[in-house]
Chains A and B, each alone.
Chain A
Amino acid sequence: MIINNDSLIIDGISMAKYITKAKFGYHKIWGKDTGRALSGDNSGTLKGIYPKITMTFRKLNEEEVNIVLGIFNKAENKVTFYNPDLKKTIYNMSCYSNDQEMDQEHIGKIEGYSSAVISNKKREHYL
């Protein structure tokens, strides 16, 4: 689900000028008890469904790379965006980001680099 780039703000920085697109979805986290029951059926606890935004960046220069990495090199990001599922803007959603992995060849021209932020709270939290 494509979201409006202009609506995506992370830690007070509008991400529109750095990204080519942003996708919105949900991330499911399962408990350790997940597996097959004695009956053969799957069984397990869905610990939660968490909002997730995946961003694809344009070519960034070195200064812009520093800015972007500076955003994600933190434990928590506050993300404001328009939630197309709930059809409302979510402000300052507490998120964590995935590991930032950038190839050397991308330096100076970071095209195709993507990153995601995942809500620390379950979807229900934002209902």
Chain B
Amino acid sequence: MKNVEDIFKEDIRTYGRQLDYKIKVNDELVNTDDFNYIKPSFNANLFKTIMHAVKIDSKYKLNNKDKINIEAGLKVNELAYNYINYNSYYVHTCEREEDTSSYTILAYDKMIESMIDYDLDSYGKIKLRDYLIKICERLSWNTENIPAVFVNSEKLVDNFLHTGIGYTFRDALDEIATLSCSALLFINDGFYLKYPEETNQNIDESYLSEDSIHIGEKYFINSLVFARAEESDNIFRKDNDSIQKNGLSEYRIEDNQLLSTNDRDLYIDEMFNYLKTFEFYTFDVKTKGILFLEAYDKFNFVLDEKTYSTILLNDEISFEDGLTEDIYVDLPKETETDYKYSDETDKKINQAYILVDKQNRKIELLTSEINNSNEKISKFEQDINFISTKVENIADVTQEIAGIKKITIPDAVEGELLELHIDGNNTVFKHTYVSKQTLVSENTKLQGDSLIKVYTRNICPTKVTEWENGYFAGKTGEKWDSLEYIRNKEKIKIEPGKKVTFSLNNEEYLWSYVYLYDFANRYIGGIQATNNQEEITITIPEKASYINVMIKKNEAQQISPNEIIDIKPQIEYGERKTDFIQCNTQLIDLGIKNVLRQKEEIRDTYDLVGADAILTRRINKDNEILLEPEIEVLQRPSIFLVTGENFIEIKNYTANLSCKYAKQNEFTDIYATKVEMNSKIEQTAQQIRIEVNKKVDEEQMTSAISQTAKEINLEVSKKVGDDEIISKINQSAEEIQIDANKISLVGKEINLTGDNMIIKSNNFNVNKNGDATVNNINIKSGKIQLQDGTEQNANFEIISTKNNKKTIITPGSIYPSEGIFINKLNGTGQSAYLYMSESGNAGIQLNGNNSYIRMLTEDSDVSGNASIRCGGYMYAKDFLNISSEKIKKNIKKLDIEILDLIKNADIYSYNLKTETDLDKKHIGFVIGERYQTPKEVLDKNEEAVDLYSMCSILWKAVQELSEKIEKLEGKGE
């Protein structure tokens, strides 16, 4: 409230009050006769900045930013006026009014200086008050009137939220005012952070014009809502008692950038605690002038003896032909949040929100669930150029557990313990010292006791067995087989459905019976074992609760009364969980040779981290703290955890210990300490990119598809350390490029349909004619077919580019450039050579002493029709006819007269037609109609002479001649 004397308050209401004004323009007094009216005003919203304005009609033409100072004086009977000051105003507009030959001037107080682009650097997180001061300093405003403490003044905010979003400093100040539940304004040119100020001023009827008085309803706040978008992502505080009693009256803060972070619940309580005490009556009143009330002054209307407490938010004063002052406060915009979509906190861990940034035209949707080991986030971001969808699952599958002496490790993944830490306490791993009186032999070695025990329970496949002593009860002289084995223990408690196995350790005895009893220990039957059965396994029937056994000896013998026989049946209950059975026990010596010490808060420590085991000594044996810790690297013991629950225990001492291990989770099938998986789709007008990433510890895998109008790219990569494998498929209108270590085409039919297709590689090429160049072809089975073109074109060529030798294989023919060598692979010297000259001569050369040409048939190597034909000469050391009866049939002696046959044959001399007449004459038969050549020596085709037949005929002829000679010799005798 302006500082005025009571006489002022009297005069303002007195008939005949007189007003006077002092006006300075740029600190120079001007003639007030040249001012037609002066209308100061302010219009405030709750918890925002307030800017005072003045509208003036004057004969003066003022320039933009001219400074105007106004004082209004009042008196009635006093000699002098009592003046009140208004803020300095700065001309914003000055417009000529032609009808009155004057200027209408609109001017504002210094708040207008804040209506420039926000340009502060980012300070990171700073206190709200410090942020306000930073802005004031930037605007060269005095900060001495900013309270040391106000609502949320100590809370941290990030001023980066105000950068780059088209904000002015006034926008930023508005948000600070909201967060502090205050008004930021200038009073007498001083910058103030002002809370509603109780003036205790009563405004009664004497101040008010009689024609327009309206007192409205009472405004109060019993719900505070931080909203970021309509009906979504709200957090709130409510006073349910007040709501039930008075109905909902909500104050809703929307789109405050400082509340766009996910820690906004840090601010809400302090604000709500203040706001729920905040109330006022709305009103709309025309007064005859009050002048001394200021913005955010709390005052009372006293009408008809009723008091209405309220606050001044809007004031419009008119100094024109007298004085009027209209003041009013409207009911703030009524809102009602749908609380089912809201929560009391953003829950830093689990949240779902929609951020709508209208200034920057951005939308962000996020759902997340974060716990100690998992962080799941799905996020959608959209701005005017870009849409991004991302789903992320990061699992830190490690867990830290701490305890004293013993820690329980639940849900472990099978593998090495990741970390183990033990704190010194002056007792842990202290050795048991040998007293001076103890005699120790030379062979005695003191073992350092830094043992830890690692073990499990429950899930170990426990076979619960026990040995027991029993006896056979009977009378003297009775035989064993009639006696019952009596257990020293109670009958065995059993569970129906379980299997129980009984084993004997003494071959002299035999199983006889297993007796069954019910829950009341009543006999319900038994199972007889066969003789010589060393083991009985029974499934416990329903209703059975106890069992007992009877054992017989192999050979019946008499016993002494109550004689205890050393017989220990092993009773195996089968697998069952036994809570207090330790299993998989590892006893591990950490190798610590001296006690871990502690002095006050300083401790020696044992730290097993990853592959290292480090002992850090900070205190010496004299209990002095070392200036520099002494580090000792110990051998890293293997501490292996099994799947499920594990225990780590310091065996003989007590100390604080903690560990870190891999915990079972949805990625348990992968032994890893951290698994990150995410997929995202990013879309702009130019490109769509789809990406899936998976990172398991150091192994990172990524697959991505990016698409533009010009091309589609697919990429799959896998990276471990510095080693990376990438396969790519890049497709454009012109080509598809596949880049991968291995390419597999799997299909029933793969068609390469391109015209004049070319295949290029270092070792395999096909040109546009279909000519392939390939280093090697490995055809495992089947055939090579040359089907193209005519017989002449269907050539299969084997070419040596080294010496230009080649062999052409056509259907039915082989055309070597020289000859064809046939060698045994890795053979030594033996070969066959089929050769031919350019003149057409050809030959077959078989190297090696045992070379031969052999034409085989199925049955025999001589019974078929295989033949060798030769147009030249055949040279050989010998020609042998196979003549075994194995290959012959229809055998009978030749009984014709051979000599006549011989005599009737003609022998000729001749040249072959391929020879010249001068060549040496051949001698022999000539087969033809005109020649006398016996058919008996011809082949079946009558084309050749059968030399073996001819020789045999000659043999027969010699026999006949011999016979004749013998006869002749006989006659002669």
Interface: B204 (CB within 8 A): yes
Q: How far is the CB of B303 from chain A (nearest CB, A)?
A: 8
A37/B321 in contact, CB under 8 A: no
- When the two chains form their complex, are residues A33 and B204 in contact, meaning their CB atoms are under 8 A apart? no
Q: Are A46 and B288 in contact (CB under 8 A)?
A: no
A47 and B13 form a contact (CB under 8 A): no
**Do the beta carbons of B288 and A47 come within 8 Å of each other?**
no
Distance between B815 CB and nearest chain A CB, rounded to angstroms: 129
Give the size category of A's interface with B: 10 to 19
With a cutoff of 8 Å between Cβ atoms, the chain B residues found around residue A41 in the complex are: 13, 15, 206
Q: Are A44 and B15 in contact (CB under 8 A)?
A: yes
Answer yes or no: B207 CB below 8 A from chain A CBs.
yes
Known: A32-B321, A33-B289, A37-B288. A44 touches B16 (CB 8 A): yes
Min CB distance A17 to B, Å, is: 34
Q: Are B322 and A45 in contact (CB under 8 A)?
A: yes
| Per-residue interface assignment for chain B, residues 18 to 50, with 1 indicating a CB less than 8 Å from any chain A CB and 0 otherwise | 110000000000000000000000000000000
* Bound CA span A43–B15, Å: 4
Taking A32-B321, A45-B322 as contacts, is the C-beta distance between A37 and B19 under 8 angstroms?
no
Do B206 and A31 touch across chains, with their CB atoms under 8 A apart?
Answer: no
CB-CB contacts of A24-55 with B at 8 A, as 1s and 0s? 00000011111111111111111110000000
Contact yes or no, B209 A46, CB < 8 A: no
Chain B min CB distance to A45 (Å): 4
From A36, A39, A42, A47, contact of B321 by CB (8 A): A47
Q: A37–B205 contact, CB under 8 A?
A: yes
With CB as the reference atom, state the residue of chain B lying closest to A28. Answer: B16
Listed residue (A33, A38, A41, A48) with the most chain B CB atoms within 10 angstroms of its CB: A38
CB closest chain-B residue, reference A34: B322
Note all chain B residues with C-beta closer than 8 A to A46.
16-18
Query: B213 touching A38 by the CB < 8 A rule?
Result: yes
In angstroms, Cα B318 to Cα A32, docked, is 11
- A100-114 residues with Cβ-Cβ distance < 8 A to B are none
Question: Taking CB as reference atom, which chain B residue is nearest A41?
Answer: B206
Task: Tell whether A33 pairs with B323 under 8 Å between CB atoms, given A38-B205, A38-B209, A41-B206.
Answer: yes
- Which single residue of chain A is at the shortest CB-CB distance from B18? A46
A43 touches B288 (CB 8 A): yes
Chain B residues whose C-beta falls within 8 Å of the C-beta of A36 in the assembled complex? 210
Shortest CB-to-CB span from B680 to chain A, Å, is 69
Closest to A46 in B: B16
Residues of B within 8 A of A38 (CB): 205-206, 208-210, 213
With A37-B13, A38-B213: A47-B206 Cβ-Cβ less than 8 Å: no
Whether B16 pairs with A37 at a CB distance below 8 angstroms is no
Q: Report yes or no: A31 in contact with B205, Cβ–Cβ below 8 A.
A: no
Which chain B positions have C-beta within 8 A of A30? 322
Closest-CB distance, B15 to chain A (whole angstroms): 4
Find the B residue at minimum CB distance from A121. Answer: B33
B204, B213, B288, B324 — most chain A CB neighbours (10 Å): B288
In the complex, which residues of chain A have a beta carbon less than 8 angstroms from the beta carbon of B16? Answer: 44-46
B289 to A, closest residue via Cβ: A33
- How many angstroms from the CA of A113 to the CA of B207 in the assembled complex? 45
The chain A residue with its CB closest to the CB of B204 is A39
Query: 5 tightest A-B contacts by CB?
Result: A31-B322, A33-B322, A38-B205, A39-B205, A45-B322
Q: List 13 A-B contacts (CB under 8 A).
A: A32-B321, A33-B289, A33-B322, A37-B205, A37-B209, A38-B209, A39-B205, A39-B206, A41-B206, A44-B322, A45-B322, A46-B16, A46-B17
With A38-B210, A39-B208, A43-B13 already in contact, 5 other A-B pairs whose C-beta atoms are closer than 8 Å: A38-B205, A40-B205, A44-B322, A45-B19, A46-B18
